[in-house]
Amino acid sequence: MTPPSNLAIAGTASERFRSGLIYGIGAYVLWGVFPLYFLLMRPAGAFEVVSWRILFSLVFCAILLTATRGWKPFLAIARQPRLLLLMGLAGVLIYVNWQTYVLATLADQVVETSLGYFINPIATVLLGVLVLRERLRRMQWVAIAVSGVAVVVLSVGYGSVPWIALILAGSFGTYGLVKKHVGPRVDAVSGLTLETLWIAPVAVVQLIVVSQLTGLVIGTVSVGNTLLLVSSGVATAIPLLLFAAATRRLPLVYVGFVQFIVPILQFVIGVFVLHEPMPPARWAGFAIVWISLLILIVDMVRAARVTRATQNGTQQRG
């Protein structure tokens, strides 16, 4: 059976939108419950967990390429220096995101990881200005300013800048930008294979260092723990493949809407399942972030309505 990420982008616009929405929701729900998944891997440390994620994802992708006869298009992509370098950049960004995320999760900082994904839409808008030279609407600037206030409030509340959240938002926002730029030229399986191939040497080095310092956990605790670590390749690859499929079918604005599933689930897990502390300053910071997101959402809805009205007017005149 052909994976959904490898299906040709065919059908009507509404069919592509609907399938993209399904892929996007699937990806973000899986990412949203990841904290519970990684916490089950203890006593494995973050560097060992991420290393196995990379290596087993690479193995899973190789199996997928073989099963779907995808080696030929993969090699065609690998022979293009520009695409190869872009996939290398995507690999670095996803490594930074994975490592930061797992370090934070295993250090009982799930709430702050949710903050990172709450402000990710703001980071995406800001990247559009800095990288793509896009012109922002007034409400987008207001949303960015309000989110900046939130960071200040949270910094005062924490006693330090919420670096975990900022790194997660910046790395994943830039990763999405790279994937959107590559677009249909690189299918999801080939893209993920190249990304993990680029960072596989880092994973090997990390495992060697961990084995020398504390010893590797895999295969030493229980069958269940070992299976969880081994399954990290499949668990990591599936939402990334779904995300890649979604970005190829959905406008970036809709990807931005759907991604709120992740921080909402993570926030609920951090506060109500793991009972992480939520002092008043943290609640205030999150409230301001939510206000900035509400401003951004209202602006996106208005802009979408104006675009539809303009297109309908053009079609009627035509």
Q: Are 235 and 40 in contact (CB under 8 A)?
A: no
Q: Are 296 and 125 in contact (CB under 8 A)?
A: yes
Does residue 234 lie within any of the structural domains? yes
Does residue 3 lie within any of the structural domains? no
Instruction: Of 218, 317, 250, give the one whose Cα is nearest residue 21.
Output: 250
Number of domains comprising the chain: 1
Cβ atoms < 10 Å from Cβ of 218:
17
Q: Can you give the residue range of the structural domain that contains 209?
A: 14-310
Q: Are 29 and 265 in contact (CB under 8 A)?
A: yes
In the chain, the N- to C-terminal Cα span, in Å, equals: 43
Does residue 7 lie within any of the structural domains? no
Q: Give the pTM.
A: 0.84
Model confidence over 241-292: pLDDT tens digits?
887 788 778 876 677 678 788 899 999 999 999 999 988 888 998 999 899 8
Does residue 5 lie within any of the structural domains? no
Model confidence over 215-230: pLDDT tens digits?
999 999 999 999 999 9
Model confidence over 17-27: pLDDT tens digits?
888 889 989 99
Write down the pLDDT at residue 4. 46
Does residue 212 lie within any of the structural domains? yes
Query: Higher pLDDT residue, 56 or 236?
Result: 56
Does residue 219 lie within any of the structural domains? yes
Which residues, other chains included, contact 120 with Cβ-Cβ below 8 Å and sequence gap of 6+? 168, 169, 172, 173, 259, 263
